[in-house]
Amino acid sequence: MIKLESISKVVLLLLGVGFLAMGAQGLFMPDYFFGQVDLHLPSVSGRSELRTAYAGMFGASGLLFLRAAYREDERNLALWLAVMACGLFLLARGYSMVVDGIPNTLTMVFIGVEIVGLVISGVVLRLRR
């Protein structure tokens, strides 16, 4: 039988790699990355803000997830962060669908990934209590 701690570690490793990948894309390839979701960045200030937000928030969260994967005493905090981040992403995307309309296919894929992240992180967190 697979131990809960092993599952927690794998979940946090996957979250860490995924969040770091998002942060890296936002930092190093903002025009390509955001162009895939029809967001065009014509100004230096716009690219700077998105680079900063993605590298800062996704990067920091990804590093915390990776650290917590190897530090049992930090796992609950990291799992809570994953639940809150994925939950708020979904809340914002749901609101956007109501006020802005249905987004493109890639954004719908993001929604699917965020649902999976929310459910798995939430279940693992609940089982750890």
pLDDT in tens, 50-87: 899 999 999 999 999 999 999 999 999 999 999 999 99
pLDDT in tens, 90-101: 999 999 999 999
pTM equals 0.90
Length of the chain: 129
What is residue 22's predicted lDDT score, i.e. its pLDDT? 94
Report the C-alpha gap between 105 and 25 in whole angstroms.
18
